[in-house]
């Protein structure tokens, strides 16, 4: 029995397939696998002339990007953003005289593999 030598084309195909597995982005289904007990997200609230929201995380959990958003006629507008790298982070927006809007806090973990949103709150400033 004679075993054929692999050709260069076969070797290249295997190498490219290996790279595709390494470089492939995580699927959206992976977001369901995240442990939501790592994070606490407050709904936005009014504090004098500011709309504020806070996110907390337990030790050992991944860092995250957070943003405070308000609903506009053309979509959600980010009014403040921060990085959650310690145990908590707060976003705030000086809304003095801007009127009534719906606000929410959005958190993206691991470059958006998992996205979490707070409850929406209608706030008048």
Q: How many domains does the chain have?
A: 1
What's the pLDDT at 88?
92
pLDDT in tens, 41-75: 999 999 999 999 999 998 888 889 999 999 999 99
Q: Is pLDDT of 95 > 60?
A: yes
- Please list, in sequence order, all residues whose beta carbon lies within 8 angstroms of the beta carbon of residue 16, skipping any fewer than 6 positions away: none
Element (H, E) at 122: strand 121-124
Supply the pTM of this predicted model: 0.69
Instruction: Look up the domain containing 102 and give its range.
Output: 28-124
Distances (CA, A) of 61 to 28, 39, 70, 84, 116: 19, 8, 27, 10, 14
Residue 14, in any domain of the structure: no
Residue 80: closest CA among 71, 72, 70, 88: 70
The DSSP line for 25-40 is PPPGGGGGGS-GGGEE
CATH number at residue 78: 2.60.40.2060
């Amino acid at each position: 029995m004679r075993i054929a030598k692999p050709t260069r084309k076969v070797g290249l195909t295997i190498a490219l397939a290996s790279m595709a597995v390494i470089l492939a982005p995580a699927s959206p289904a992976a977001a369901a696998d995240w442990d939501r007990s790592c994070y606490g997200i407050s709904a936005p609230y009014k504090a004098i002339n500011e709309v504020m929201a806070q996110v907390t995380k337990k030790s050992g959990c991944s860092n995250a990007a957070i943003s405070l958003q308000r609903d506009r006629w053309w979509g959600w507008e980010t009014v403040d953003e921060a990085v959650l790298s310690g145990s908590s982070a707060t976003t705030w927006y000086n809304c003095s005289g801007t009127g009534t809007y719906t606000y929410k806090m959005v958190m993206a973990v691991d470059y958006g593999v998992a996205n979490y949103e707070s409850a929406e709150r209608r706030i008048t400033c």
